[in-house]
């Protein structure tokens, strides 16, 4: 089996062999680390966890207790870990307001970072810069508000992204912005980003706010996944099923056989539906209402590409891509929201965007427009949905090893695969873990966000 689980990462396979890895190191070539991915029954972390705190204000939350409850052995400081390398380092910098606090952060974090284990986790908790204030008179001219406090909080962004690029051995570095009143809503994001489910998430910043009152959790949650017959959609169905969800697998009639196979494998159900058909929104809404009493989450994953330079792009290539990738999620969501009983209370929506949608890509004006459009869709809908106790977010995958990327010409494929801090393509399961987490009841404090699952890819970083 290839080390990446994909047959054509020849370089990755070569490096995985002892002599190949040693030769690559000597030549200064990238040595992609083997990532530790989630497997049932494995230890939560690869070593003890430490929770550090900048400043003297009370901590944002009892992170140490959450980590311990998730199975971590939490030690008071890096030295208390004995000779063990650290599985997770969490730094609560929410109270940092002065440059001296940043200096303290460096002092605390540097020795711990040096001692992180392979596939370790570094997580910085920061405040929301726009919420920093009210401290007039202190620091930078009080008349302007707490300018120094905001600058210090923004500084965390650069620090975390740089640290992600310096991390080795599959260690990831991320930032959680803790909004006022987030409280318990922070727990699930902390657990996710410290876990092996987030193996391909690094260099990211995510905002966490207060979660609405939780809706009653049904015995078996029901989640719709469009484009579930193969690739990332099939992986999403598998991860959701692993987590006890009934998955309604949707795909075009032409993919019916593959779809039935996936639905059987995950003990879910299959619904053949072209999401662009005029009748699709009503058919899906009625199916969910009648058969399940509403869906707990909908994953808009179905997507297509028709790459061509802008001047050579014909109407069909434009319409197909915009129709599947953007118009269908808009129309389906509109109908689901206006059909009583199609969505369960507290429902979650997750859209599959793309880092190419955030950054743009040559030959992909149609695709990037559709994927950037989904980000706008998520941001516009976040507020109104939050008022209904629902949440919508996007996941933006980077280079993922799928038949889509396997079909790329060899040179751009190899460049794309290595151009991230983790120096390899992600696997469909990496995207699936992030989607399943955002669709889970615990993720209620994350709303209107775009989570990149890209190993900190250089594109649009
Ligand atoms: N593979 C990557 O590297 C990558 C990177 C960024 C984003 N994405 C996004 O992730 C999603 C999944 O990508 P993938 O690589 O698994 O793609 P894929 O081509 O392997 O699978 C897409 C699925 O969507 C289905 N589909 C297409 N049109 C449909 C329609 N009209 N109605 C219902 N189903 C339809 C297809 O039949 C297929 O099963 C897409 O939205 C894609 O844009 C993928």
Ligand 1 mean position to 253 CA, how many Å? 15
pLDDT in tens, 29-38: 678 999 999 9
Kindly state the greatest CA–CA separation across the chain. Answer: 68
Beta strands, E only, 41-115: 49-53, 74-75, 86-92
Q: Token digits for 286?
A: 């009625």
- pLDDT the model gives residue 23: 65
Contact 140, 67 (CB under 8 A): no
- Ligand 1 within 6 A of CB of 233: yes
- Ligand 1 within 6 A of CB of 364: no
Task: Report residue 189: phi and psi, to 5°.
Answer: -60, -40
- pLDDT the model gives residue 137: 54
- pLDDT the model gives residue 409: 86
pLDDT in tens, 329-373: 999 999 999 999 999 999 999 999 999 999 999 999 999 999 999
What CA–CA distance (Å, rounded) separates 258 from 270?
10
Ligand 1 mean position to 313 CA, how many Å? 20
- pLDDT the model gives residue 429: 98
- Ligand 1 within 6 A of CB of 146: no
Q: Label residue 167 left, alpha or beta by phi (over 0 means left) and psi (-120 to 50 means alpha).
A: beta
Q: What is the rounded (10 degree) CA torsion for 307, 403, 247, 283?
A: 40
Instruction: Please report where in the chains the tokens 């120096």 appear, as a residue.
Output: 423
**Catalytic choice (367, 377, 399, 437):** 367
Closest ligand 1 atom number to CA of residue 229: 39
- pLDDT the model gives residue 3: 44
* Residue 2's pLDDT band (cuts 50, 70, 90): very low
424: closest CA among 16, 66, 150? 16
- pLDDT at residue 458 tops 50: yes
177 bridge partner residues:
126, 207
Contact 173, 202 (CB under 8 A): yes
- pLDDT at residue 440 tops 80: yes
CB count, 10 Å around CB of 330? 15
* Residue 1's pLDDT band (cuts 50, 70, 90): very low
**Is 367 an annotated catalytic residue?**
yes
Ligand 1 mean position to 386 CA, how many Å? 28
Q: Is the dihedral of CA 319, 281, 391, 40 positive or negative?
A: negative
- pLDDT the model gives residue 29: 66
* Residue 80's pLDDT band (cuts 50, 70, 90): confident
- Ligand 1 within 6 A of CB of 275: yes
Residue nearest to atom 9 of ligand 1 (CA): 352
- Give percent above pLDDT 70 in the chain: 91
Mean confidence (pLDDT) of the chain: 92
- Ligand 1 within 6 A of CB of 405: yes
What domains does the chain contain, in order, with CATH numbers? Answer: 49-208 (3.40.50.720), 222-453 (3.40.50.720)
Give the lowest-confidence range in 7-11, 219-223, 248-252.
7-11
Task: Find the length of the chain.
Answer: 461
Contact 391, 349 (CB under 8 A): yes
- pLDDT at residue 308 tops 90: yes
* Residue 215's pLDDT band (cuts 50, 70, 90): confident
- Ligand 1 within 6 A of CB of 454: no
- Ligand 1 within 6 A of CB of 60: no
Give the lowest-confidence range in 18-22, 123-127, 377-381.
18-22
What CA–CA distance (Å, rounded) separates 247 from 292?
11
- pLDDT the model gives residue 14: 66
- pLDDT the model gives residue 13: 67
* Residue 22's pLDDT band (cuts 50, 70, 90): low
* Residue 83's pLDDT band (cuts 50, 70, 90): confident
What Rg do the C-alpha atoms of the chain give, in angstroms? Answer: 22
| 3 state DSSP class of 75 | strand
144 against 207, higher pLDDT: 207
- pLDDT the model gives residue 278: 98
Q: Please name the residues in contact with 78: beta carbons below 8 A apart, sequence gap of 6 or more.
A: 50, 86, 89, 111, 112, 115
- Ligand 1 within 6 A of CB of 403: yes
- pLDDT the model gives residue 216: 85
Which letter does DSSP use for residue 457 in this model? B
Task: Report residue 298: phi and psi, to 5°.
Answer: -130, 130
Which letter does DSSP use for residue 38 in this model? -
Average pLDDT of the residues in 260-289: 98
- pLDDT the model gives residue 19: 66
What CA–CA distance (Å, rounded) separates 347 from 48?
35
Residue nearest to atom 33 of ligand 1 (CA): 251
Mutation choice for ligand 1 from 227, 284, 306, 398, CB with most ligand atoms inside 8 A: 227
Q: Please name the residues in contact with 118: beta carbons below 8 A apart, sequence gap of 6 or more.
A: 33, 36, 46, 85, 169, 170, 171
270: closest CA among 285, 255, 280? 255
Contact 348, 297 (CB under 8 A): yes
Residue nearest to atom 40 of ligand 1 (CA): 303
- pLDDT at residue 230 tops 80: yes
Closest ligand 1 atom number to CA of residue 259: 39
Specify burial of residue 345 (Cβ count, 10 A radius: 0-12, 13-18, 19+). Answer: middle
Q: Please name the residues in contact with 260: beta carbons below 8 A apart, sequence gap of 6 or more.
A: 270
Average pLDDT of the residues in 2-11: 54
201: closest CA among 407, 417, 358, 430? 430
């Amino acid at each position: 089996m290839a080390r990446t689980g994909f047959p054509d990462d020849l370089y990755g396979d070569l490096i995985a062999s002892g002599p190949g890895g040693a030769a690559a190191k000597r030549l200064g070539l990238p040595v992609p680390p083997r990532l530790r991915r989630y497997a049932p029954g494995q230890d939560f972390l690869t070593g003890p966890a430490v929770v550090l705190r900048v400043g003297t204000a009370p901590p944002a939350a009892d992170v140490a207790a959450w980590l311990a409850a998730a199975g971590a052995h939490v030690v008071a400081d890096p030295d208390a870990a004995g000779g063990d390398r650290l599985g997770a380092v969490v730094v609560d910098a929410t109270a940092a307001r002065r440059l001296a606090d940043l200096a303290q952060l460096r002092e605390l974090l540097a020795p711990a970072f040096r001692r992180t284990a392979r596939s370790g986790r570094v997580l910085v908790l920061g405040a929301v810069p726009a919420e920093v204030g009210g401290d007039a008179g202190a620091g930078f001219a009080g008349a302007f508000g707490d300018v120094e406090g905001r600058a210090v909080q923004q500084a965390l962004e650069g620090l975390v992204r740089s640290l992600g690029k310096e991390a080795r051995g599959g260690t990831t570095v991320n930032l959680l912005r803790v909004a006022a009143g987030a409280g318990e809503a922070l727990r699930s994001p902390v657990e996710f980003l410290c876990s092996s489910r987030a193996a391909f998430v690094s260099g990211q910043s995510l905002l966490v706010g207060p979660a609405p009152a939780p809706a009653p959790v049904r015995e078996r949650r029901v989640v719709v996944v469009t484009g579930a017959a193969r690739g990332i959609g099939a992986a999403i169905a598998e991860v959701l099923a692993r987590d006890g969800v009934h998955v309604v697998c949707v795909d075009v009639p032409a993919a019916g056989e593959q779809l039935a196979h996936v639905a059987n494998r995950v003990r879910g159900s299959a619904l053949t539906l072209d999401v662009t058909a005029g009748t699709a929104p009503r058919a899906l809404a009625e199916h969910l209402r009648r058969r399940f009493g509403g869906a707990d989450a909908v994953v808009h994953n179905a997507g297509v590409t028709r790459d061509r330079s802008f001047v050579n792009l014909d109407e069909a290539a434009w319409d197909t891509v915009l129709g599947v990738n953007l118009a269908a999620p808009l129309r389906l969501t509109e109908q689901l929201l206006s059909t009583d009983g199609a969505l369960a209370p507290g429902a979650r929506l997750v859209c599959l965007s793309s880092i190419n949608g955030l950054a743009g890509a040559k030959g992909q004006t149609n695709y990037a427009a559709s994927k950037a459009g989904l980000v706008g869709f998520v941001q516009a809908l976040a507020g109104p949905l939050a008022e209904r106790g629902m949440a919508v977010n996007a996941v933006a995958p980077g280079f993922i090893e799928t038949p889509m990327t396997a079909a790329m010409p060899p040179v751009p494929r190899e460049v794309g695969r290595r151009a991230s801090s983790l120096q390899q393509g992600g696997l469909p399961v990496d995207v699936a873990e992030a989607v399943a987490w955002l669709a889970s009841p615990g993720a209620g404090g994350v709303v209107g966000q775009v989570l990149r699952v890209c190993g900190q890819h250089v594109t649009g970083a």
